[in-house]
Every structure is written in C-alpha cells, then in structure tokens.
Amino acid sequence: MKNRLRVLRAEREWSQADLAERLEVSRQSVNAIETGKYDPSLPLAFRLGKLFGIAIEDIFQDEQ
C-alpha cells in the first residue's frame, strides 16, 4: 500500500522518532510503514489521520 506518511512528516519537520512518540509506537514501525513493508492496523491508521488532520484515504492509497 502506498502512503504519503514521509511527506506529511517532513512537512512538519518531524523525525521518525518524533512521529513514533506521538503515535506511541516504535521508530522501526514508522519506518516500516513509510517504506511499505508494513500496513498499519485500522486503529493506527485512524490515529495517523487524526494526528495529521486528514482522512486516512489521503494518507494511504491502494497500489492498484
């Protein structure tokens, strides 16, 4: 699944560790989501949307 997480994080000048702390996950989890190696759970996706103030569909796109 493609995502805009790295771009959204960079716009706020947050490191992966900063974002991980805000989400209460590990930095490695943030890295895995950004690189497409891991798709977040639905609750985590909603936390991301709330944190960035956008719908989860604006963060994640199906690769098809």
- Among candidate residues 11, 18, 10, 8, the one with its CA nearest the CA of residue 50: 8
Instruction: For residue 64, count other CB atoms closer than 10 A to its CB.
Output: 3
CB 23 within 8 A of CB 44: yes
Q: Which DSSP category does 56 fall into?
A: G
* Residue 12: pLDDT band with limits 50, 70, 90: very high
Residues 19-53 pLDDT 10s:
999 999 999 999 999 999 999 999 999 999 999 99
Location of structure tokens 């949307």:
49
Q: What CATH number should be reported for the domain whose range is 2-55?
A: 1.10.260.40
**Position 15: which residue type?**
S
* Residue 18: pLDDT band with limits 50, 70, 90: very high
Location of structure tokens 């493609």:
2
Q: Whole-model pTM?
A: 0.89
Instruction: Check residue 58 and give its pLDDT.
Output: 95
Each domain of the chain, given as residue ranges in start order, spans: 2-55
